Structure 1
Amino acid sequence: MQKSIISRKEAMSIINNPNYRKNDVLDLSSLEATEIATYAFSALNLQLSKLILPKGLQKIGDSAFMLNEIQEIVWNDEIQEIGDSAFEHNLISKIELPKTIKKLSPLAFAMNQIKEVVIFKNIDEIGNDVFHGNPLEKLYFYTLNCQIDPYSFAGLEPKEIIVENDFDLQIPNQNDKYSRINLDFYKDFDIYENEIELEIANSLLVDILASFSWINAEKIILINPKVSATKDLNLYVVKYEMQKNIQIFARGSEKYQKFLKIN
């Protein structure tokens, strides 16, 4: 496909064309465009219930759709790059990122209504404040192989966090293998007497878990799909410390070794 860029001037013509804009839906799927320029549709207050992107679109420029009250985005299978603040200040409540995207740029989806985010294995890099100002409740990571800015999820307070990847849980003098570690902040831990200290030393896992606030966390779930065992390690968090590694002081219903470590 020949490279075609939708400029600000072309965007102004598109939004007034009934072939593309019908009521509160902007359908760009028929346009042969590989790129939408910086600020192309920015701050036009379009009040869109749905935005349908061009089928061959590969790049969305910085602030391209900022400030438009967009509620939903229909992606394509070609998109690779989303610029800084591309969809900042809209009304997006649900997002399913295409698996062709490699990088989440700074502030790309800041100030929306997104409650759930899934980071798949295709993501190589996450910039700062990507989802700043969203009422995020659930955060799912299916990769530990991406570069995460220390402020990627700064200010966000998800209730449930799930991280799935290969990590090594060391339990001294025990042969037990666990495919899932449940860290519970919500249940009443006072009924358990078995005190446990868990150190998370896996650097990529630390980067992920330290990139958001734990203040409202109810549950953090760590899953290792390479472990065939079905047994869960259930820990009830009393307190934690964020240092170079993450130190978790917990209690459990079963008697484990006092000191556990995740590498």
Structure 2
Amino acid sequence: WAAGEGDARTVGQLLADQVEFADVIVLNKTDLMEEGDERRVRAVLRRCNPKAEIVASVHGRVDPAAVLHTCLFDPAKAAAHPDWLKEPREHGRAPETEEYGISSLTFRSRRPFHPGRFEELGRVLERRGAAAPEETEGLLPSIHRDAARGVLRAKGLVWLATQQSHWQTGAASLAGRKFAVTYGPAWDAALAQPSPPSEEKKGEERQPSWGEEPWGDRRTELVVIGQHLSRPAMTAALEACLVTEEEMEAYATAFRDAASADVLRHLAGIAGEDLAERIR
């Protein structure tokens, strides 16, 4: 059983269904809310589901005891809900992924993203399908921008062809209408150059933490979730953001033989603002 052609239900209705039936609701990203917004959201949730426990969180950090083994689910109360088991009994239940056209893909690459093209893709993701009035053909062809407009959520590890991304792992995240790339720990390959294998160890399998030569563990692993998402089209859009062969050669020329110690010496004594510009 699934939604028919005339069924106009949206992801918003899926969200409402889940909120109304939940025992625990995690209210994430409360640090990004304006003053008073959290109270209004809590009031709406209380109206939809007066009995649910509401747990506020930042960056998804939640005490496991607040959401696991809470013993809040009551089968007797659930059975009294008018929609409980209605669909499975009458129609056979289709998952929400089919009912609302939600699907996902995981994009993996051992080649970095071009920073300009990936930034443009990020702006499209933030608009969620609403084209800017002044929008013209940019670094990405319109066919790739169109493919990205059904994306609801994206998160994962990214590698960009920039100085900062060469040394530090990047974390990309699309949540709501906010897309950002933040940088964290260094890539394993950036911490030290692997020593050449000894005569006895030649031919042995390389340590998996170093990944593929010559760039070690630098890579992109990005999960994309969307509604009525074309996986081939979205994959093509992400591939269009990768550096070309010529751009990869330029990147390799700049970074192949660089060592982290060289960069630290070069940046020593640079003022904060100047450093921020250079590290881009």
TM-score normalized by the length of structure 1: 0.22
Greater strand proportion: 1
Greater helix proportion: 2
Larger Rg: 2
TM-score normalized by the length of structure 2: 0.21
Higher relative contact order (CA 8 A, sep 6+): 2
